[in-house]
Amino acid sequence: MVRNRDAAWEFPKGSIEDGEEEQEAALREIGEETCLEAVELLPDFRDQVDYQYRRNGNPVQKTVVFFIGEVSDWAPIPESAPSREHCPHPEEKIWFVWVSEREALSRLFHPGMRNLLGRASFFLHEHDRIVAARMPLGTSP
The CATH number assigned to the domain holding 30 equals 3.90.79.10
Give the model confidence (pLDDT) of 112-126 as tens digits.
Answer: 999 999 999 999 999
- Predicted TM-score (pTM) above 0.75: yes
In a domain, 48, yes or no: yes
Based on the structure, what is the number of domains in the chain?
1
Domain of residue 100: give its range. 2-134
The whole-number pLDDT of residue 78 equals 87
In a domain, 141, yes or no: no
In a domain, 140, yes or no: no
**46 or 90, which is more confident:** 46
SS3 of residue 81 by DSSP: coil
How far is residue 37's CA from residue 40's CA, in Å, rounded to a whole number?
9
Q: pLDDT band at 47, cuts 50/70/90?
A: very high
Amino acid at 55: R
**77 or 21, which is more confident:** 21
Residue partners of 131: CB distance under 8 A and separation at least 6: 141
How far is residue 82's CA from residue 114's CA, in Å, rounded to a whole number?
25
